[in-house]
Amino acid sequence: MPLRLTLLESLLQRLNLLPTPLLDTPLAPGIAKALITACEIGIFDALSKHPLPLNVLAGRVNCDPCGLQLLLHVLVETGYLRQKNGVYRNTNLAQRWLTSGSRFNVAPYVIHSPDIVAIWDHLPEIVQSNKAAMRMPYEEDASVPQTQAQLERHYAGLAALATVLGSEPIMRAPIPTNATALLDVGGSHAAYSVLFCRKYPKLHATIVDIQPGIEAGQRTAKQSGLQDRLSFVYSDIVRDDFAAPMENQFDVALYFHIAHLLQPAINQAVLAKVARTLKPGGMLIYVDQVTNRRYRMRLAALMVHFMALTMTTVGGTCYPFTAVRQWLENVGMEQVQQYSLFTPLATMITAVKR
């Protein structure tokens, strides 16, 4: 993917005559670092309106022209930029996915990706012990500037991902058209709530999360102009009984990308609280990577395996559908169904409260 091989190179690779491990490392991590740097210093945004010569671009992004050119050469060879007569322009790939004016902009997630890569530094420990080696930043002290910056990057990255790739669960979730109240458990950045509110004009969403998550959600509420249709509740979903003041109030509850953070017994306990917040007949929608599916897409399979590896490192993991169905049935839900989602390469599971 970031490696663009010529026909001859592809043929050599198929014949196992290229040293592919030397392309996977150090070339692939090098390309990743070049891309992250380009997003951080704003190269793709600087080129989003007009192509620019090196000196002008260097002035716009505040870089030394000779230093910048080293990076630009890599970006040209990896297919993110084109260069003709000393003038640089974004390729369609960069323009669509990496510029802030595009509705498909995933640059915030690219900028967040080193925090994910840092989790993989623990891979040897995980392989040897199969035990958590670090914690997610949610449990760290958010008043420490470094943690605060990390959480901001995290929520901005997740919001970009949800906005760009998250419309499929909104399209496919069979929620009743007369639904008026949605609970977004661990919904932080609120991007999924915004997508649901846009599709269902009568819907009001309540987002439950930790304080830094809520601050991210409040920024989204302001940017989307949906402040009066989004409410925020600060609560620790594991330790607090957030359901007590909300019993039987919601038509829909989202449990999106939460299960992989938690151990089975804790998922069961949190889902029991979520179920209590639903009205009888209300729907719980679970989205996450599910392990026991046969994936037709190699990318989806790779994603699930990486997710399981990453989440085990931070104390969670990915679960099979049978485990999720059992949790849901144990907390009084029925009609449990699963749907494979194409875009976030995840699985959606729905269940209805008895």
Ligand X SMILES: C[S@@+](CC[C@H](N)C(=O)[O-])C[C@H]1O[C@@H](n2cnc3c(N)ncnc32)[C@H](O)[C@@H]1O
Contact positions vs ligand X (CB under 6 A) = 138, 158, 162, 186-188, 209-210, 213, 236-238, 256-258, 261
CB 221 within 8 A of CB 190: yes
Strand 230-234 relative to strand 204-209, pairing: parallel
Give whichever of 186 and 282 is closer to ligand X, judged by the CB atom. 186
Q: How many CB atoms lie within 10 A of CB 326?
A: 15
| Angstrom distance (rounded) from CA 106 to CA 96 | 9
List the alpha helices (DSSP H) in 200-257: 211-224
Give whichever of 162 and 275 is closer to ligand X, judged by the CB atom. 162
User: 136, exposed or middle or buried, with CB in 10 Å at 0-12, 13-18, 19+?
Assistant: middle
| Angstrom distance (rounded) from CA 86 to CA 94 | 19
Write the CB contacts of 8 (distance below 8 Å, at least 6 apart in sequence): none
Give whichever of 217 and 282 is closer to ligand X, judged by the CB atom. 217
Give whichever of 61 and 189 is closer to ligand X, judged by the CB atom. 189
Strand 278-288 relative to strand 347-353, pairing: antiparallel
Instruction: State the nearest-atom distance from the C-beta of 185 to ligand X, in Å.
Output: 8
Give whichever of 209 and 251 is closer to ligand X, judged by the CB atom. 209
Instruction: State the nearest-atom distance from the C-beta of 204 to ligand X, in Å.
Output: 18
Give whichever of 200 and 286 is closer to ligand X, judged by the CB atom. 286
Instruction: State the nearest-atom distance from the C-beta of 89 to ligand X, in Å.
Output: 33
Give whichever of 256 and 327 is closer to ligand X, judged by the CB atom. 256
Give whichever of 90 and 289 is closer to ligand X, judged by the CB atom. 289
335 DSSP 8-state letter: E
| Angstrom distance (rounded) from CA 42 to CA 46 | 6
Sign of CA dihedral 313, 268, 338, 234: negative
Give whichever of 45 and 288 is closer to ligand X, judged by the CB atom. 288
Amino acid at position 182, single letter: L
Structure tokens at 13: 């690779």
121-19-29-124 Cα dihedral, nearest 10 degrees? 0
CB 105 within 8 A of CB 160: yes
Give whichever of 34 and 258 is closer to ligand X, judged by the CB atom. 258
Spell out the long-range contacts of 297-304 with Cβ–Cβ below 8 A and sequence spacing 24 or more: 297/345, 299/345, 300/340, 300/345, 303/345, 304/345
Residue ranges of E strands in 48-180:
52-53, 81-84, 87-90
